[in-house]
């Protein structure tokens, strides 16, 4: 008799609650990964994500082999693969982590659940982070998450009693129809790379984190860069939380304390945003506040979309970010928020088309964070303050010396520093714009003003507020009362921040 451990986005053996559970049954385990071609045909899937996955699977296989097991890789539809294995190996149960994925994996999991029920096979899904399935209400969620994070990390088993089964090599990206997508400096995948990333961040890279996280140049090193590892589970978020806590307890000075605190907050935001998608899977496809549906044309202006994707909008800082993203698969939070905001406000593109492009470009694509953030930066949630980033100001603030912009836009080398973010104001613009670099495709100020007016018109419309209040009730973060400030005023202020900023 056998149990199947179905690896999904939990590609490790350390701190692995589903592995721990399956071992407790004291039966041989079949360790399985299914490459699902249909998943890789979705509009949010990309070559760079698959490359990272392949590296992570290689590492997982080695970890399993060290413990006397192996990874069985199969390609195909999950139900068909599972059915075949259950038949062949007389499996008693299926165990996996609880996945909060995209709409496609959600539908697939429903099919798997129906199939398992039909066969009378128990499917045990085990949480691996602070996201709570079938959450009744947001109040108290934070303490549940904190309790999970305080529980000791689970050690990797010394040995795994395993069942072997025929395994196939992973399909190539081309087999899955994934074309090379311009990635030139990919982040390495796999558990070992994830551990190195965490350790180097906590030992030395993270010291300037709080100050430097929004700088496009410094942030690439000062941010943890853990996101793709957390997305594929080569590291557990609890391992990151606890390793950070140990560093906090060392009481280090020189900026460390603020940086580690900010980092812990972001690890908590991760679960908070993923919880939104868990609670409302349709936020990947529908405006959280329905009044925004149809505000922007559903068919996006193709020329604008393509210019934005290619880094050819004529707004230098936006273009530098988009080109850098294409080459590296990563941007810091501020730059992600700005490029999304420009797409949704200045270029007036529907968030679904621009959001899919960004999803493909992010090696760390995490649907729960992504779609919540995409909607937040597009002003369609009904619960967040409208924030329209000014790309010229962002360039001046975050790339003061212009080194990042110049690195990605060599065609601007002749532009003097003071005009770098607004080359249209430079005397020599006639020789440059419309020739080697585009004129801005919109008037930055006028486009922002028009967008703000249109969004506020929706906000002021009849019936907007009661729906917005229900959304806040369902999704806004609420700390437990004991952790709020005692003064009514500061408590109200903080709770407003928690509700509206996140």
Q: Beta partners for 6?
A: 32, 96
Query: Which residue in 3, 142, 215, 227 binds ligand FAD (CB under 6 A)?
Result: 227
Under rule CB under 6 A, residue 370 binds ligand FAD: yes
Residues 269-288 that bind ligand FAD (CB under 6 A): 269-270, 273
Q: Which is nearer to ligand FAD, 214 or 405 (CB)?
A: 214
Q: Which is nearer to ligand FAD, 2 or 309 (CB)?
A: 309
Under rule CB under 6 A, residue 475 binds ligand FAD: no
Q: Return the closest-CA partner of residue 28 out of 49, 11, 3, 10.
A: 3
Under rule CB under 6 A, residue 398 binds ligand FAD: no
Query: Which residue in 112, 198, 288, 340 binds ligand FAD (CB under 6 A)?
Result: 340
Under rule CB under 6 A, residue 337 binds ligand FAD: yes
Which whole-number Å values give the CA distances from 393 to 307, 309, 340, 387, 388, in the listed order?
21, 21, 16, 14, 11
- Identify the three-state secondary structure at position 33: strand
Which whole-number Å values give the CA distances from 417 to 396, 400, 421, 481, in the listed order?
10, 9, 8, 50
Query: Which residue in 12, 93, 191, 225 binds ligand FAD (CB under 6 A)?
Result: 225
Query: Which residue in 31, 193, 267, 383 binds ligand FAD (CB under 6 A)?
Result: 267
Q: Which helix (H) or strand (E) holds 73?
A: strand 72-75
Query: Which residue in 4, 5, 223, 448 binds ligand FAD (CB under 6 A)?
Result: 223
Query: Which residue in 230, 277, 322, 451 binds ligand FAD (CB under 6 A)?
Result: 230
Distance CA 443, CA 165 (A): 61
Residue 198 CA, chain-centre distance (Å), reads 17
Distance CA 20, CA 299 (A): 48
Distance CA 286, CA 284 (A): 6
Under rule CB under 6 A, residue 364 binds ligand FAD: yes
CB of 320 to ligand FAD, least distance (A): 16
Contacts of residue 413, defined as CB under 8 A and 6 or more positions apart, other chains included, come to 406
Q: Which is nearer to ligand FAD, 183 or 374 (CB)?
A: 374
Query: Which residue in 239, 278, 279, 366 binds ligand FAD (CB under 6 A)?
Result: 366
Query: Which tokens belong to 440?
Result: 């801005």
Under rule CB under 6 A, residue 231 binds ligand FAD: yes
Under rule CB under 6 A, residue 59 binds ligand FAD: no
Q: Return the closest-CA partner of residue 376 out of 368, 262, 390.
A: 368
Query: Which tokens belong to 400?
Result: 């003061």
Q: Which is nearer to ligand FAD, 2 or 102 (CB)?
A: 102
Under rule CB under 6 A, residue 48 binds ligand FAD: no
Query: Which tokens belong to 74?
Result: 């199969």
Contacts of residue 477, defined as CB under 8 A and 6 or more positions apart, other chains included, come to 138, 141, 142, 272, 498, 499, 502
Choose the binding region for ligand FAD from 221-229, 298-306, 435-443, 465-473 (rule: CB under 6 A).
221-229
Q: Return the closest-CA partner of residue 105 out of 257, 259, 278.
A: 278
CB of 27 to ligand FAD, least distance (A): 34
CB of 79 to ligand FAD, least distance (A): 27
Footprint of ligand FAD on this chain (CB under 6 A)? 213, 223-227, 230-231, 266-267, 269-270, 273, 332-333, 336-337, 340, 362, 364-366, 369-370, 373-374, 377
């Amino acid at each position: 008799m056998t149990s199947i451990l179905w690896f999904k986005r939990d590609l490790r053996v350390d701190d692995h609650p589903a592995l721990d559970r399956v071992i407790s049954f004291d039966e041989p385990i079949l360790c399985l990964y299914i490459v699902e071609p249909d998943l890789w045909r979705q509009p949010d899937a990309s070559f760079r994500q698959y490359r990272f996955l392949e590296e992570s699977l290689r590492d997982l296989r080695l970890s399993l082999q060290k413990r006397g097991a192996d990874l069985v890789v199969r390609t195909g539809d999950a139900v068909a693969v599972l059915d075949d294995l259950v038949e062949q190996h007389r499996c008693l149960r299926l165990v996996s982590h609880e996945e909060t994925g995209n709409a496609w994996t959600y539908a697939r999991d429903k099919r798997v659940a129906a199939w398992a029920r039909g066969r009378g096979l128990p499917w045990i899904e085990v949480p691996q982070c602070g996201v709570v399935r079938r959450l009744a209400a947001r109040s108290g969620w934070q303490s549940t998450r904190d309790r999970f994070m305080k529980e000791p990390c689970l050690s990797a088993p010394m040995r795994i009693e395993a069942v072997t089964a025929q395994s196939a090599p992973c399909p190539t990206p081309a087999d899955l129809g994934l074309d090379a997508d311009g990635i030139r400096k990919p982040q390495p995948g796999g558990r070992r790379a994830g551990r190195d990333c965490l350790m180097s961040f906590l030992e030395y890279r993270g010291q300037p984190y709080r100050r430097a996280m929004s700088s496009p140049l410094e942030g690439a090193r000062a941010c943890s860069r853990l996101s793709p590892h957390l997305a594929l589970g080569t590291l557990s978020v609890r391992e990151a939380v606890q390793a950070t806590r140990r560093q906090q307890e060392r009481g280090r000075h020189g900026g460390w304390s603020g940086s580690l605190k900010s980092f812990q907050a972001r690890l908590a935001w991760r679960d908070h945003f993923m919880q939104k998608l868990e609670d409302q899977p349709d936020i990947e496809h529908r405006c959280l506040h329905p009044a925004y549906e149809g505000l922007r044309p559903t068919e996006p202006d193709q020329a604008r979309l393509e210019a934005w994707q290619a880094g050819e909008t004529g707004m230098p800082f936006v273009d530098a970010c988009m080109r850098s993203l294409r080459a590296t698969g990563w941007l810091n939070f501020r730059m992600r928020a700005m490029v999304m905001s420009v797409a949704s406000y200045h270029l007036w593109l529907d968030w679904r088309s621009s959001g899919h492009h960004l999803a493909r470009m992010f090696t760390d694509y995490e649907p729960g964070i992504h779609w919540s953030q995409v909607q937040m930066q597009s002003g369609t949630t009904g619960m967040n303050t409208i924030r329209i980033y000014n790309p010229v100001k962002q360039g001046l603030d975050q790339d003061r010396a212009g080194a990042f912009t110049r690195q990605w836009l060599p065609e601007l080398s002749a532009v003097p520093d003071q005009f770098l973010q607004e080359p249209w104001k430079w005397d020599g613009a006639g020789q440059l714009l419309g020739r080697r670099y585009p004129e801005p495709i919109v008037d930055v100020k006028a486009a922002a003003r028009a967008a703000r007016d249109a969004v506020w018109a929706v906000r002021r419309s009849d019936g907007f507020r009661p729906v917005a209040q229900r959304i806040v009730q369902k999704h806004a973060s609420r700390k437990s009362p004991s952790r709020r400030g005692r003064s009514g005023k500061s408590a109200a202020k903080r709770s407003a921040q928690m509700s509206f900023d996140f």
